[in-house]
Amino acid sequence: MQLGRAFMEYRDNHDVTQQELARRTGITPGTIHHYESLIRTLDQGLGEKVDSGELTFKEARSIADIDDHVRQREIAQPFIDGRLSSVHVERIVGRAKTSATLSIEDIIEEVVNGKPAPELEPEPAPVIQRAIPVEADTALIENAVLKIAGELDAMQLQVIPEYRRLKLISSLRILDSRLKSALASLNGGVAVASAVPHQIGASTKVPV
């Protein structure tokens, strides 16, 4: 990690590319890239583990391919504890990248011991039910309209406070919109019905 920081610091101070630094030092551009990318992508705490020797460069470089730092720390812990060898790190990281929901312990069991990890079943797709049409209670509507009409007549004889008046205006505008929509629907229904010609029966007199 210190070498990666040194590469980045030198390039920043001298404004050189990785290729130019490789030419000056004799180190391959790929190696410089690996060290610098580790500084940018690896969790800072894991970087300290690399410096202390608790995590190898090979392990850190593979783990840095995981974007989530929390997941990085979960994967790194068995290697830091000495439970796992570096030979397993690439396969464990690869499995973790394809199965983000699997626990690290399940992945270790699968990679090291050959025990298939339990895959979570996908959630069933929600069932969309069709809306059931509701029939309007015309008798109830008639009674409600007559009651509201009486209340509106009485309201005109009252002094209504300002805060109540504004709310009432808003409610009446909503009611007005619904009434216009209902009237348009009813008038349209009458118009359609009247447009249908009467059937001529045997008893119907046809003017000559």
| pLDDT at residue 82 in the model | 92
Please tell me the total number of residues recorded for the chain in this structure. Answer: 208
pLDDT tens digit string along 30-87? 888 878 888 888 898 998 898 899 999 899 989 998 989 999 999 999 999 999 999 9
Domain boundaries, the chain: 2-113, 138-191
What is the predicted pLDDT for the residue at 202? 43
Q: Using one digit for the tens of pLDDT, what is the confidence trace for 84-107?
A: 999 999 999 999 988 888 899 999
DSSP H helical segments within 81-161, as ranges?
Answer: 89-98, 104-113, 138-155
From first CA to last CA, the distance across the chain in angstroms is 109
pLDDT digits (tens, 9 = 90+) for 147-174: 888 888 887 877 877 777 788 888 888 8
According to the model, what pLDDT value does residue 123 have? Answer: 61
Please state, in angstroms and as integers, the Cα–Cα distance from residue 30 to each residue in 13, 22, 38, 140, 194, following that order.
21, 9, 12, 81, 85
> Comparing 188 with 31, which gets the higher pLDDT?
31
| CATH class label, 2-113 | mainly alpha
